[in-house]
Amino acid sequence: MIPPPTCGNGGPAGGVRCPVVTEPDFVRRTRSSYDTVADDYGVWIRGELAAKPLDRALLGGFAELVRATGAGPVADIGCGPGRVAAHLTGLGLTVFGIDLSPKMVALARRTYPDLRFDEGSMTALDIADGTLGGVVAWYTVIHIPDELLPGVFAEFNRVLAPGGYLQLAFQVGDETMHRTEAGGHSISLDFHRRRPDRVAELLSEAGYAVHARTVRAPDGYGDFPEQTPQGFVLARKPIGTNQP
């Protein structure tokens, strides 16, 4: 059963508008940017997983591990147009998506009407403690500033059931790239590139057991060319724990 939303970050819950709270500038810029590009991005990204067999293999391994726990549903955090949630659903998981951008959520609902998608922020999830068997954040923590990343990992830990898994994907590097244009649209987005070892260190500090860290060389061909290596870290909330 997918847990219902609560009222923790100013988003809608149970049909009732929650109180609005002050949010950081990067959150507003990220929401606005993805609202601006939502429709074009949804068309462009639709076939990405089909073109990346190694990425599908990593998601397949995550799905198999989560199914074995029987611990609960999976949240696709920063779900965008919903392609990862749909892929994991096809692998036998019960998945719902959460995204900061209302237009991305609307697009995901139109594209996958049988799945659930909600507005929300990974910095304050409207999900009860210990209710998820898995969390996937597929190229979404890339917009979180370094100083806030430990808090986000703690939030993921909070909502995971003991034994639940976290799968991250991100761009590898040491720099932050700022983009002001995408597909002819004006945006304002920061992309924080990180080293898998540093991400694994932060996860360990947040109470996870890190199970795997993988770096894939950039794929410079096809419709989805990459300029940087791609990083993937799989971690688990230890059994017998509640919160970090």
- Whichever domain contains 93, its CATH number is 3.40.50.150
Is 75 part of any domain?
A: yes
Check residue 173 and give left, alpha or beta (phi > 0: left; psi -120 to 50: alpha): left
> How many domains, in total, are found in the chain?
1
Give the residue numbers spanning the domain of 182: 22-236
Is 163 part of any domain?
A: yes
The 8 Å CB, 24+ separation contacts for 225-229 are 228/171, 228/172, 228/173, 228/193, 229/171, 229/172, 229/173
pLDDT in tens, 136-148: 999 999 999 999 9
Residue pair 43/165 in contact (Cβ under 8 Å)? The answer is no
Predicted confidence at residue 1, as pLDDT, reads: 59
Is residue 5 over pLDDT 70? no
Is residue 150 over pLDDT 90? yes
Is 125 part of any domain?
A: yes
Predicted confidence at residue 16, as pLDDT, reads: 40
Is 11 part of any domain?
A: no
Is 8 part of any domain?
A: no
Is 50 part of any domain?
A: yes
Is 244 part of any domain?
A: no
Predicted confidence at residue 149, as pLDDT, reads: 96
Give, for 70, the enclosing helix (H) or strand (E). none
Burial state string for 128-150 with b = 16 or more CB within 10 A and e = fewer than 16: eebbbbbbbbbebbbbbeeeebe
> What's the pTM value of the predicted model, to 2 decimals?
0.87
Is 126 part of any domain?
A: yes
The percentage of the chain sitting over the pLDDT mark of 90, rounded to a whole number, equals: 66
